[in-house]
């Protein structure tokens, strides 16, 4: 019979060894992100090293990891994880594999950076601009000699996965689930106003009519007008093209209108090319709206800091003249009179400037 005292040291040593193996953490090496050249960073994060440092100074108070555990992500690493998700729109585990972190960490980083960027919406997105209105009008006028323009407006659909609540509200006229996003931009492709809260089934006209921008125009806050397509009713503040222009001033008006309003289509192309996540958001509608706002803020920061624009993909046209008529019939008398006034303004402008 073996003596138990001879086995005890061996058993204790084995137990210690097993415990150490269980507690050992697999820590994959973290990338020194700012050590890479700008072309590498721009391809993966859409920003240069200096702009990433700028974002870190801006967002670090709101995204710093509050933990006493070792090997926590730095604020720059958290921001770059979110930027990589915004830039390529991949699944979270793919971003985690590329950044050497877990899927859960990617999810937390994206959420924290998204909410931090939302704080700066009215800092970087301001209508009509941070610059004088006269400068904005001059920049638009240089495009196609269309006077008095302080913005171009349009809506675009950002696809989302089918939500579990009110699923039918998010099916748009092209039969996929989306968020209908209204954007106003200036001549430099800077987004000056955004509405990202409406389901895909809601028409552009309703989004504008219920927006704060429409209320401010009605109060006469702005000296100028925005250009929209025929999906909108013609109003004094929102000029649309003629449905059936006759040769002469009306055709010249339409041509100048089309060339000027193309700036908002170009802005959509740049935004979606820069942030591929907007091709399909696999999150709830509420979180999708937050991510859209975050990408708009980043888009403006990128333009203001002179970041390279990715190849822009032209956004689809949203022109359907019948839509406006449906909404006009449902309006009260004040809205109908406002539309009539808009046609008067359009005709006066056409005869005075495009003869």
Q: Ranked by mean pLDDT, which of 19-28, 58-67, 278-287 comes out on top?
A: 278-287
| pLDDT tier at 66, thresholds 50, 70, 90 | low
Question: Are 225 and 152 found together in one domain?
Answer: yes
Question: Are 204 and 340 found together in one domain?
Answer: yes
Across the chain, mean pLDDT equals 85
109/116 Cα distance (integer angstroms): 11
Mean pLDDT to the nearest integer, 89-114: 84
| Containing structural domain, residue 238 | 122-353
pLDDT in tens, 325-351: 333 334 444 444 455 688 899 999 999
Q: What are phi and psi of 235, to 5 degrees?
A: -135, 165
Name the residue with higher pLDDT: 131 or 323.
131
Mean pLDDT to the nearest integer, 21-48: 75
Please state the domain count of the chain. 2
Is 113 among the domain residues? yes
pLDDT of residue 72: 75
Q: What percent of the chain has pLDDT over 70?
A: 81
Question: Are 89 and 176 found together in one domain?
Answer: no
Question: Are 65 and 138 found together in one domain?
Answer: no
| pLDDT tier at 3, thresholds 50, 70, 90 | low
Last residue of a domain, one of 119, 150, 167: 119
Question: Are 84 and 165 found together in one domain?
Answer: no
Which of 14-18, 314-318, 344-348 comes out lowest in average pLDDT? 314-318
The b/e string for 263-275 (b: 16+ C-beta within 10 A; e otherwise) is bbbbbbbbbbbbb
Q: Are 159 and 178 in contact (CB under 8 A)?
A: yes
Question: Are 190 and 334 found together in one domain?
Answer: yes
303/314 Cα distance (integer angstroms): 18
Q: Are 264 and 153 in contact (CB under 8 A)?
A: yes
- Tokens found for residue 182: 């209204």
Q: Are 71 and 99 in contact (CB under 8 A)?
A: no
Is 22 among the domain residues? no
Question: What is each CA distance from 157 to 123, 174, 175, 335, in whole angstroms?
Answer: 25, 10, 11, 26
In this predicted structure, the answer to whether residue 86 has a pLDDT above a threshold of 70 is yes
The angle that helices 49-63 and 38-45 make with each other, rounded to 10 degrees, is 50
pLDDT of residue 49: 95
Question: Are 109 and 202 found together in one domain?
Answer: no
Tell the residue number behind the tokens 């997105």, with chain if given: 125
- Tokens found for residue 265: 């289509």
Is 26 among the domain residues? no
Question: Are 59 and 134 found together in one domain?
Answer: no
Mean pLDDT to the nearest integer, 115-141: 96
Question: Are 170 and 132 found together in one domain?
Answer: yes
pLDDT of residue 170: 97
SS3 sequence, 173-210?
A: CCCCEEEEEEEEECCCCCEEEEEEEEECCCCHHHHHHC
Is 3 among the domain residues? no
Question: Are 92 and 217 found together in one domain?
Answer: no
Is 131 among the domain residues? yes
Question: Are 188 and 152 found together in one domain?
Answer: yes
User: Which H or E run contains 334?
Assistant: helix 333-353
pLDDT in tens, 155-164: 999 999 999 9
Whole-prediction pTM value?
Answer: 0.84
Question: Are 221 and 311 found together in one domain?
Answer: yes
Is 17 among the domain residues? no
pLDDT of residue 253: 96
Last residue of a domain, one of 119, 144, 171: 119
Q: Which residues contact 51 (CB under 8 A, 6 or more apart)?
A: 301, 302, 305, 307
Is 6 among the domain residues? no
| pLDDT tier at 64, thresholds 50, 70, 90 | confident
Last residue of a domain, one of 101, 119, 137: 119
pLDDT of residue 105: 87
In this predicted structure, the answer to whether residue 62 has a pLDDT above a threshold of 50 is yes
In this predicted structure, the answer to whether residue 142 has a pLDDT above a threshold of 60 is yes
pLDDT in tens, 263-304: 999 999 999 999 999 999 999 999 999 999 999 999 999 999
Is 28 among the domain residues? no
């Amino acid at each position: 019979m073996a003596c138990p005292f001879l086995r005890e040291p061996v058993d204790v040593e084995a137990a210690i060894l097993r415990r150490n193996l269980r507690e050992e953490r697999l820590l994959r090496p973290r990338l020194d992100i700012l050590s890479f050249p700008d072309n590498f960073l721009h391809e993966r994060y859409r920003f240069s090293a200096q702009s990433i440092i700028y974002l870190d100074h801006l967002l670090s108070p709101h995204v710093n990891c509050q933990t006493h555990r070792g090997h926590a992500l730095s604020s720059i690493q958290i921001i770059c994880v979110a930027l990589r998700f915004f830039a390529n729109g991949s699944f979270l585990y793919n971003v985690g594999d590329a950044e050497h972190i877990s899927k859960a960490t990617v999810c937390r980083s994206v959420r924290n950076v998204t909410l931090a960027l939302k704080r700066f919406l009215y800092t970087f997105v301001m209508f009509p601009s941070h610059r004088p209105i006269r400068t904005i009008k001059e920049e638009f006028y240089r495009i196609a000699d269309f006077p008095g323009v302080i913005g171009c407006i349009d809506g675009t659909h950002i696809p989302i996965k089918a939500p579990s609540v009110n699923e039918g509200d998010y099916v748009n006229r092209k039969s996929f689930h989306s968020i209908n996003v209204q954007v106003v931009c200036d001549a430099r492709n800077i987004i000056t106003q955004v509405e990202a809260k409406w389901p895909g089934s809601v028409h552009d006209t309703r989004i504008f009519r219920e927006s704060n921008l429409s209320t401010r125009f009605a109060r006469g806050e702005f000296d100028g007008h925005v250009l929209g397509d025929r999906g909108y009713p013609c109003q004094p503040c929102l000029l649309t093209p003629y449905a059936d222009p006759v040769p002469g001033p009306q055709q010249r008006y339409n041509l100048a209108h089309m060339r000027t309003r193309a700036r908002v289509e170009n802005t959509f192309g740049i935004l979606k090319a820069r942030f591929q996540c907007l091709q399909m958001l696999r999150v709830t509608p509420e979180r999708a709206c937050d991510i859209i706002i975050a990408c708009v803020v980043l888009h403006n920061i990128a333009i203001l800091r002179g970041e390279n624009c990715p190849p822009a993909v032209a956004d689809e046209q949203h022109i359907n003249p019948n839509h406006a008529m449906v909404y006009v019939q449902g309006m009260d008398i004040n809205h109908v009179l406002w539309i009539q006034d808009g046609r008067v303004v359009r005709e006066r402008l056409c005869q005075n400037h495009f003869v």
